[in-house]
Amino acid sequence: MTNILRQHAENQFATELEALIAADTRQRPPRWKMSPWAVSKYLLGGKLDNGVEITPKYIGNARVIEIAVATLATDRALLLLGVPGTAKSWVSEHLAAAISGDSTMIVQGTAGTSEEALRYGWNYAHLLAKGPSLDAVVPSPLMRAMREGKIARIEELTRIPGEVQDSLITILSEKMLPIAELDEEVLAQKGFNVIATANDRDRGVNELSSALKRRFNTVVLPSPRTADEEVRIVETRVASLGRALELPGEAPALEEIRRIVTVFRELREGVTADGKTKLKGSSASMSTAEAISVITHGMSLAAHFGDGVLRGADLAAGMVGAIVKDPVQDRVVMLEYLETVVKERDGWKDLYRACRDVMN
């Protein structure tokens, strides 16, 4: 078993990718490892004609993935937009892995991301010793993707300062990156494209200019439509994480996953599942990703400090921590939810008592 905590998608799912490539007879865009149909199959899962089972990487509206894949087969870049925890980075990684066989050409957007991170930098030792030349250029992930005809990824695009964002315009429209200091240019090879991600809640942080927006086709990744869909997502990801972390103990019971998903959905939507009780909203995102984290944390508690069986007491600390981000406002929200909903719900008394113990 590998000692790597988290493998890149192209390594973790290498067997599935190889099976898809072998079975894929459809037309492939230039330099793509597989056809758009096969890329979509890899993301959505299903059984191949040869009997190989492809695990779903994205559980949700299949049309969303098809639109994203079709975009990358054109000259338009792809912007994955959504609230925190809607699998934007996850989908981005798997799209790059399936299309290019390489998901590592990535720029992490922050307030401190510089233009060099998107374009290129300089090896100053080389520069001082031999003067300016192509050998002294330190290529960014985007430049490498252009040269190799692969997919480049930009995480949290709207966190990057606006003037730095706009350095992408020439790359996306002209498929060319000028190196003005050397009067040289890098021309993108066929297969090159860009996947960027951004949070809905980051609007106003660093809004994209209208010129840059036009270079992207925006695909919104929605929150799970139903509780059953969200339970399936959480169950799948928790099982994968449990194997990767080698957590001892039993797999979490479906009813415990459903309880956490129900709590998160009700607080996210501001109303109970039956529609009878309106609820105050937490300042936390209450995302599917947070629900996965709560379950995984509970599994660790149950495995190392319990009998290996996940129960309400194991979930309480992670649940309270995920909901109460603001110690004043969110504490009120949590206490009201415990007293009016959790306490009165059949079979939830253990969760109520455990959460109250954590908060006292």
Q: List, for residues 297-318, the tens digit of each pLDDT value.
A: 999 999 999 999 999 999 999 9
pLDDT of 76? 95
DSSP structural state of residue 183: T
**pLDDT for 25-54, tens place per residue?**
999 999 999 999 999 999 999 999 988 999
Q: At 247, is the pLDDT very low, low, confident or very high (cuts 50, 70, 90)?
A: confident
Long-range contacts of 140-145 (CB under 8 A, 24+ apart): 140/107, 140/116, 141/104, 141/105, 141/106, 141/107, 142/105, 142/107, 142/118, 142/171, 142/177, 142/194, 143/119, 143/177, 143/186, 144/105, 145/100, 145/105, 145/192, 145/194
Q: At 249, is the pLDDT very low, low, confident or very high (cuts 50, 70, 90)?
A: confident
Q: At 203, is the pLDDT very low, low, confident or very high (cuts 50, 70, 90)?
A: low
Note if the pTM is more than 0.85. yes
Residue keyed to tokens 């912007």? 79
- Chain centroid to Cα 148, Å, comes to 24
* C-alpha torsion angle, residues 291, 294, 295, 297 (rounded to 10): 150
Of 90, 12, 151, the residue nearest 288 (C-alpha):
90
SS3 196: strand
What is the Cα–Cα distance from 228 to 246, expressed in whole angstroms?
26
Average pLDDT of the residues in 258-274: 94
Q: Say if residue 1's pLDDT is above 50.
A: no
Residue keyed to tokens 């069986």? 309
**pLDDT for 142-190, tens place per residue?**
999 999 999 999 999 999 999 999 999 999 999 999 999 999 999 999 9
Please give the helix or strand (H or E) that residue 240 lies within, else none.
helix 227-245
pLDDT of 134? 92
With 0-12 CB in 10 A as exposed, 13-18 as middle and 19+ as buried, what is 145? buried
Query: Is the dihedral angle over the CA atoms 245, 250, 251, 254 positive or is it negative?
Result: negative
